[in-house]
Structure 1
Amino acid sequence: MKSSSVRSERSARCPRCGNAFDCGMQTEPSSCWCRALPPLPAERLKPAGRCLCPECLAAEIAQATREASGDERA
């Protein structure tokens, strides 16, 4: 999914990078692109936190995977 600076009614804004992206959780029935990705560990989720864009979520998942495997290089 490509981020965009143009916002639609389903758009959200990433709290990390500020890019607009389509959030499938805003649709009925909810079917978001993020469901195809591995879940973030619960300790990395922030209560009432907003969704990340595809690029930032992928980076966060990759960082969590590195940390879980003991490889904490950036």
Structure 2
Amino acid sequence: MSTCERCGATFHCAMRDQDAEGTAGSPDGTPCWCTLLPPAVPVPRQDAPATPETPAGAGCWCPECLKAHIAALQRRS
């Protein structure tokens, strides 16, 4: 299980979570749930400076936080 970097909730991330054999990815090869959403946040490098949109070293966000962020970006447009 992963922990959301924004709210601390636990959730499953198919790209990050490892199975019993230590490999990441979903058992059936399907992509992570987040790949079905519109791109909203560039994945920053660990040494990238923080911005309001992308905190430095940001990791995975839970479905609720990522969907809320996408909705906020759409409201600004």
User: What TM-score comes out, normalization by structure 1 length?
Assistant: 0.64
Aligned residue number for residue 5 of structure 1: none
Unaligned runs of 5+ in 1: 1-10, 69-74
Q: Aligned residues: percent identity? A: 40
- Report the number of matched residues: 58
Aligned residue number for residue 14 of structure 2: 24
Residue in structure 1 matching 2:69, options 60, 66, 70: 60
In 2, the alpha carbon distance for the partners of 1:53 and 1:13 equals 8
In 2, the alpha carbon distance for the partners of 1:21 and 1:13 equals 6
Letter in 2 for 1:59: A
In 1, the alpha carbon distance for the partners of 2:6 and 2:30 equals 23
RMSD: 2.1
Unaligned runs of 5+ in 2: 17-23, 43-50
1:17-61 alpha-carbon deviations (Å, 9 max, x no partner): 111000111224682100000110547334421111000100000
Question: After TM superposition, what 4+ stretches of structure 1 lie above 4 angstroms from structure 2?
Answer: none
User: What TM-score comes out, normalization by structure 2 length?
Assistant: 0.62
The structure whose residues are more often helix, as a share, is: 1
